[in-house]
Amino acid sequence: MKFFIDTADVAEIKEAQSLGILDGVTTNPSLIKKSGRPFNDVAREICKLVPGPVSLEVTAIDCAGMLKEAEKLAKFGDNVVIKLPLIPEGLKACKKLTEQGIKTNVTLCFSPVQALLAAKAGATYISPFVGRLDDIGQDGFEIIPQIRQIYDNYGFETEILVASVRHPVHVHNSALAGADVATIPLKVFQQLVQHPLTDKGLAQFLKDWESVKA
């Protein structure tokens, strides 16, 4: 499974890269707003910094507007992936961009049927938001194996990119279900590495070393 970082903070991206396991980046207008920097500056820097896919989101809600924005975003780098909302106009734009050879990430997916529509429109990635479903009292993760089964049933090449990841259990379950990608905040990257027995074992090794080193 590939790991993307969900951020627009360049320092966080560099920290995740230092772990040697980062495959790409996803962003959105809210994340870029948190950076406190102009959108174009942030987008260009991230595209140059990361060799893998960088998802940049449109803000238009009509197909023509999405296509116009996508044309500008695609110029930031060959690794740009256009994020589109899972609405009718977004599906129209997805189909047209796919026909042009531009990669897409259809976002704000909350059901397997929505994921099916995105795949039929040619989406490169589908982003089911598991954490937001959890927030409203549903089991957000249950849709991931369902999407996997649907895609496998019909041979869709759209990659399942699990988004709105809140904790390591989401990552664990995504990997078990055969998701292609998990996009996670830096906090979760750091939590994945941690285990109390690792810390305890390392402390013991270091203590023993102090007693035997020359």
The per-residue pLDDT for range 102-155, each reduced to its tens digit, is 999 999 999 999 999 999 999 999 999 998 888 888 887 899 999 999 999 999
Residues annotated as catalytic are 83
Contact 22, 185 (CB under 8 A): no
Residue 164, token pair as written in the block: 């709105």
The CATH architecture annotation of domain 2-212 reads Alpha-Beta Barrel (3.20)
Supply the pTM of this predicted model.
0.91
